[in-house]
Each structure stands twice: as C-alpha cells, then as structure tokens.
Amino acid sequence: MSLLHIAILSPFIFAIFIPFFYKGFKSIHTGWFTLILPIVLFLYFLQFLPKVGGGSSVIETISWIPSLNIDFTVKVDGLSLLFALLITGIGSLVTLYSIYYLSKEKEQLNTFYVYLLLFMGAMLGVVLSDNLIVLYTFWEFTSFSSFFLIGYWFDREKSRYGAQKSMLITVFGGLSLLGGIILLYIMTGTFRISEMLANVDAIVNHALFIPAMIFILLGAFTKSAQFPFHIWLPDAMEAPTPVSAYLHSATMVKAGIYLVARVSPIFALDQSGLWIWLVGGIGIITLFWGSFNAIKQTDLKAILAFSTISQLGLIMSLLGVGAAALHYDYLDDNIFMVAIIAAVFHLINHATFKGSLFMVVGIIDHETGTRDIRRLGGLMQIMPITFTIAFIGAFSMAGIPPFNGFLSKEMFFTGMVRVLQMDIFHLETLGFLFPLIAWVASVFTFVYSMIVVWKTFAGKYQPDKLSKKAHEAPLGMLISPVILVSLVIIFGLFPNLLSDTIIAPAAQSIMPQFIFDDIHISHWHGWKSPELYMTIGVIVIGALLYLTAAKWKRVYRLFPEKLTFNKLYDALLPSLETGSNLFIRSHMTGFLRSYLAYIFIFFIGILGYTIWSKDAFTINRANTAEIGIYEIVLALLIVIGCVTIIFAKSRLTSIIALGAVGYTVSLFFVIFRAPDLALTQLVIETISVALFLLAFYHLPKKFRHEESRRFKLNNALISIAVGVIVALIAISSYSTKLFDSISKYYVEHTYDPAGGENMVNVILVDFRGFDTLFEISVLSIAGLGIYGLIKLRMTRRKEG
C-alpha cells in the first residue's frame, strides 16, 4: 500500500482513536489531538507541488476487485492536488477554530471529531480516486458523514430537518451518478477516468452519451447545490459553524464542481452543445438566484448560505463556458481558455474569503448570542479585529480591489464577455444572456456583501436585543480567520504566486488539450476593457441599491411563499412517506409464510424463465447407475415422512416424522458408501430432534395444527412448483458438464501435499480453513449474544 493510499485512509484510522483519547484525556480538548492529522496531511500534499507544477502526475494502484475492473487507483494531478490542499488546509484551520468554538464541557466532542475525520477522508477519496466506482463509494460516504455533521445538534428539530433534507437530495444525486458511471462503463469497458480520456471519441459517438451526461450532471448539481437542488444548503446551516465553514465553503459543495471539472474533457466535446448549455446555463441561473435571494435574508448564516449557492453557480458557469474552447481550431491561443483559469482561481479565492466569513459569523453568534442582523449593529468598536476580518472577506466577495475576489471576478466578466464572440450552439443569438445575468448577479453580490459588513458592525449598538454582552473573540478563535484573510490579501496583491504552481496544473487537468504555460493575472487591463466598466457599474448600482434597499425590497413580496421549491419539498416528502408506508404495508405483513411465498415465487419465476429461455433442461443417463429396490423404498419413506409432517395433528408426530426424513437421508449416504456424511447426518439429525422437542415443549398448548384448516391452492402450487424447479435444476446440472470436476484436485492434493487421509476433514481444516474459522467465530458470537440475553432476562426477573 502506497503513502497516497495511507493518506486517504488515515482519517478513517485516526477516527478510531478519537473516543479513546476523549475518555482518557478529558482535561485536554479533543480538537488538539485531531488537529495533528490534517496538518500532517497538508504538509504531505505540499511536497507534490514541484512535480505536479512541472506537468507530471503520480498514480498508485491497489488491486481491489480485478474481476470487475475495480482497483483502488489514486492519481495526483493539478486538479486533485488543488482539492487535496483545500481539504487538508481548510480542514486544519477549521479544526483549530472548533477548539475554541466548541466547549469540551458542553459538547460530545468525540462524535464531532469522528464525523469530521470521516468526512475529510471521504473527500480525499473523492478527489484522488481515478476509478469511478471508488470515487462513487467515497462520494456517498461524504453524504452520510455530512448528514451526521449537519445533524450534530440532533436535539434541535431544525438540525434533524436540515440533515435529512441534505441527505435525501444528495443521495438522489449519488444514485444518478452511479447510473452515469455504469453507462460510461458500458461505453468504454473501464472504470478508470484516465482510460476513458484516452477513448473519448468512442464515448462521444455512442448512443448512451447523452443519458450518461444527464446522470453525471444530476449527481454534480445536487452535491454543489445548483438550481433547483439548492434548497438543501440553507437548511444545512443549522450545523455548528465549523461544519459550515468546512463543508459549505471549501469541500462538500465543491465536490460537484470537481466532478464536472474532472469529466469535462469527456463531455465537453459534445457536438450538440448540450454540455455547454446545461453546465453554463444552470450555473448562471444559480448565480443569479442565489445572489438575489441572499439580500432578503436576516440571518447572517442564511445570507452566507445563499451567497455560497451563488458563488458555486459562478464557478459552474465558467466551467460550462470554458468547454466551448474545445470546439475551435486555434487551440494554441484560445480566447476562451480564460474561463477555465477563472474557475480554478475563484475556487481558491472563494475558499479563503467564504471560510473566513463563516468563522466571523460564528464569532458573532458566539460572542453576542445572535446572528439576526435586525438585532445587531455598532460592533465595529467593540469587536475591531472581527470587523477587520469581515471587511476584507466581504469586500473580496463583492469583487472590490485589491483583494483576490476582485481578480477572479474580473476574469469571470472576461469569460462571460467572450461568449459574445462565440458562433456555435446558438450562442450568437442567446449568448448575450450570460454577460447580462452575470453583471446583474454581481450587483446583488455587492449588495449582500455590504449587508454582511455594515448591518452587523455599523449603525447603533443594541445591547438590549442581545442575549450576551458583546466582546471581542478570544485570540484562539481569531487565528484561523486571520490566516484566511491574510491569504485573501496575499493572493490579491501577488496572484501570480499561484499561476504556475496551482492554477496552471489544475487548468491543464481540466482541459488537457490546451497548454497553460503563460498565465499572468493582473489588476489592470486598460481603459478599453469592458470588464472595467462592468465593475464600476456593479459598485455604483450596488451602492445605490444598498442605500435604497428599504424601498425596493418589496419586490420580494411578489414571489409567493407557497410556490417555492422548499414548499414543494415539504409537500412532497409527507406524500412520499405515506405512499411508501402504504406500499410496504401491502406486502410486509409480518408473517413468515408471506415472505417465504415472495421468495419462492421469485425463485420459480427467474429460474423457470431461465431454463425455458436458454433451453437449459437436459437429461443424460450415460453415467447413471441402475435404481435398486433399496433406493425406491427409502424414497417412498421420505415422501411418507414429508406428507406426515404436513398433515400431522400433534407436534410430537411432526417432529418424529421430520427426524425420520433425516435418518432416511443418512441411509442413502450409507448405500452410496459415504460413511462420514452418514455419521454427520445422524449426529445433526439427533441434535435437531432433541432441540425441537425442547423448544416446542415451552410453546403454548394450543397451536394451529389443532384448529380447523382449509386447503390453500396457492401454497400447494408454490410448493409443487419449487419442487419441480429444484428437480429440473438437479437433473440438468448432473447431465451437463461444462467444467472438469473439482474432486480430482482434492484427490491429488489431499493425501500427499496436505498430509491427510480423510478428504472431508482436510477440505474443512486446510482448503477451507478460514471458512471454518469464521463459522466457528460466528457461532461463538451468537452464543455470547444468547448468553447475554439469558443473563439480562434473569437480572430483570430478580429486579422484579
């Protein structure tokens, strides 16, 4: 196993020790122990920067299920390294922040950090896996681990609601993703992403190309909260703030972004333009809808939730527009490559400014007792450091220089304006919507960014509306957001620190057809650039809208609450629950006979159809011996015993008849010269009869055999059909020899290599030693469980 595999699995292994540390060192915050791992992993992934920056990649493989072409293959290239650094770097800062945010006296820290590490490992598995089945396995693990994190405060109804909502929507997308992966496998015969990239032409021309694309995008859109699946993200804000800062700014919500970026080289070559319109169009709609709805929120976390939706839409739209570059011939200097570069750059920038803002909101909630902007205000002088962090983060989110958000926002405008130059897929007619919606959404982004800062820190201080006396946060809680806003400033002033080390390799991974070797990011593009005037318009119009918000906010009343996607979800979920209950109750009767009937009907149908459709029934009497009088007599005795079991009117008679059937079978083994099997059968049958007699002795006197019964034709037909099918299969299997008998192998290897004289014993002890060991283990566990139940029952009796 390579170090890369260990790095992915280490959070899962580390999580095992969290409960022991929590119980053994109660005086120490469990976060200090947890913090070790993400820091070590971050430093480990940093060492890949020189190799990946030089255009190389690292691939390590462990054979997992080779018969199904499933190997645990991990790949470190520009894109996966970028996400690995975000996952571990932001994870380190979030863990440090949580140490001061979560009280070790009031919280179950062992469960929190176990869930956090499970999520971290799952995300690393998603971004580093080169095998789509392995990726999907980790993908679903992110859904379940995030469910636990969002519902961490499970005693709150809103937390449980948000956790359930996020899991239902993202798991639905995960199942769609699995469907897309299976279709890709049908088209290519491999689950390896790198091998699919080498076989793109066959995929694009396949009839299953469009369905696979739709299924893959459903998985990506649900995970990254794209319209209309965005409704789960605001409700997920009921999670503790460290969870929001981690999952909803840098990691989980960007898993969908990662997936779209990773499969773009495959689906972006779509000759119908569907990929460009779906990814770019849904992204730009999500950008607008998220920014528009963020303004009307009064909870700071809700504002950041909708702003996250908006920013994810921005990145998604850039990936969609950037895909158009593949449909032009002049690849060496393609004017549309800027969209891909902007997507990668904004991915980094968003993690820095949004992570710091989430932490600021957590600080405000922690130190004032509220996140409601109607109760906040005047905190600038009371919490100056927190205000400075919020100011930098919010202004970067608004796209104001000299912060890093301004640079990626300018590149975003450049990418959207370039759409006007495209003459493919009807973009020459409808393409104007991209820069128009992008500009309007950016205006709203400016407005909600100003709301976050000024509604919280400016204005009049209202101590009577706060549940706590406001004060500055402790130093430990400020370290992580300070580091993040420092990166906001550094990447804003010196953006080309990232150009060759991270941005270019990541963009190269998304679009390997291009050469990203001369990326230069600058603040100034000249007076003639339309981006400059778009930015000026955003600031001027945005400032006017912010100052006059009280007058025009009435527009939100035009959108009826009853016609929202949230209301649709709330109305649909009870209906689904009611329908599923009715469906389950219709066949889950609680009676064993019903379940046996379902199993046997399915058994009859599938096997009967297979025998008929494949013409599989054959009879070959070439090697059969003559049937003697002893076999006929014993067979008749077995039939008589079975019939007696059915029609007997006492339990004792039924048990004796059942035992007679078993003993008669053992006589067959004697006749066929298998004394070991005969002895085993006799022992088992004796024990079974004794246990039946012991168990039935304690049952009530009255039982159904003593009551009047009616003949049930359905049960009779099912029984006869099962017997016929089994007989046909037995006859056909004996008459059909597709392979050489394995018995020859055992004959050759039992006496000399295994050193045994009894073939059955050697098979059980040597050839199937592990099977026997595990069977004994299962019996031991079952015995311990039964012993525990008996002891529990005896204890209760004594207490009674």
pLDDT tens digit string along 300-320? 999 999 999 999 999 999 999
Q: Which of 14-23, 183-192, 282-291, 574-583 has the lowest mean pLDDT?
A: 574-583
pLDDT tens digits along 78-90: 999 999 999 999 9
* Cβ–Cβ under 8 Å, residues 306 and 294: yes
Q: Which two tokens stand for residue 681?
A: 């059968």
The whole-angstrom separation of Cα 363 and Cα 245 is 12
The whole-angstrom separation of Cα 497 and Cα 501 is 7
**Angle subtended at Cα 665 by Cα 685 and Cα 602, rounded to the nearest 5 degrees:** 90
pLDDT of residue 329: 59
* Cβ–Cβ under 8 Å, residues 183 and 212: yes
Q: Which of 301-315, 328-342, 423-437, 492-506 has the lowest mean pLDDT?
A: 328-342
Which carries the bigger pLDDT value, residue 768 or residue 474? 474
pLDDT tens digits along 619-634: 877 777 788 888 899 9
161: closest CA among 150, 176, 175, 171? 150
pLDDT tens digits along 231-289: 999 999 989 999 999 988 778 899 999 999 999 999 988 888 899 999 999 999 999 99
pLDDT of residue 359: 95
pLDDT of residue 663: 92
Chain CA centroid to CA 155, Å: 24
CB proximity list for 287: less than 8 A, separation 6 or greater: 310, 311, 313, 314, 317, 437, 438, 441
Residue written as tokens 């004060």? Answer: 471
Calculate the average pLDDT of the chain. Answer: 89
The DSSP code sequence of 190-235 is: --BHHHHHTTHHHHHTSTTHHHHHHHHHHHHHHHTT-TTGGGHHHH
The 8-class DSSP code of residue 527 comes to T
pLDDT of residue 730: 87
Amino acid at 793: R
Q: Which two tokens stand for residue 695?
A: 């168990």
Q: Which of 562-571, 719-728, 748-757 has the lowest mean pLDDT?
A: 748-757
The DSSP code sequence of 504-521 is: HHHHHHH-TTS-------
Chain CA centroid to CA 392, Å: 33
pLDDT of residue 698: 74
Give the total residue count for the chain: 800
The structure's pTM equals 0.81
Residue written as tokens 């150009």? Answer: 499
How far apart, in Å, do the first and last CA atoms of the chain sit? Answer: 56
Which carries the bigger pLDDT value, residue 562 or residue 148? 148
pLDDT of residue 382: 93
CA distances from 2 to 6, 8, 62, 66, 658 (A): 6, 10, 8, 18, 57
* Cβ–Cβ under 8 Å, residues 43 and 66: no
Residue written as tokens 């299962």? Answer: 778
pLDDT of residue 313: 96
CB hemisphere CA count around 679 (13 angstroms): 5
Helix (H, G, I), strand (E, B) or coil at 382: coil
pLDDT of residue 8: 95
Angle, nearest 10°, between helix axes 592-613 and 713-735?
Answer: 40
CB proximity list for 489: less than 8 A, separation 6 or greater: 392, 402, 403, 404
Q: Which of 66-75, 93-102, 274-283 has the lowest mean pLDDT?
A: 66-75
pLDDT of residue 514: 80
Average pLDDT over residues 638-648: 87
Percentage of residues in the chain having pLDDT higher than 90: 58
pLDDT of residue 335: 65
What is the torsion angle, in degrees rounded to the nearest 10, for the CA atoms of residue 221, residue 224, residue 228 and residue 229? Answer: 90
* Cβ–Cβ under 8 Å, residues 118 and 10: no
Average pLDDT over residues 675-686: 88
Q: How confident is the model at residue 705 (pLDDT cuts 50, 70, 90)?
A: very low
Average pLDDT over residues 91-116: 92
- Phi and psi at residue 656, to the nearest 5°: -65, -40
pLDDT of residue 516: 79
* Cβ–Cβ under 8 Å, residues 183 and 263: no
* Cβ–Cβ under 8 Å, residues 546 and 450: yes
The whole-angstrom separation of Cα 258 and Cα 135 is 11
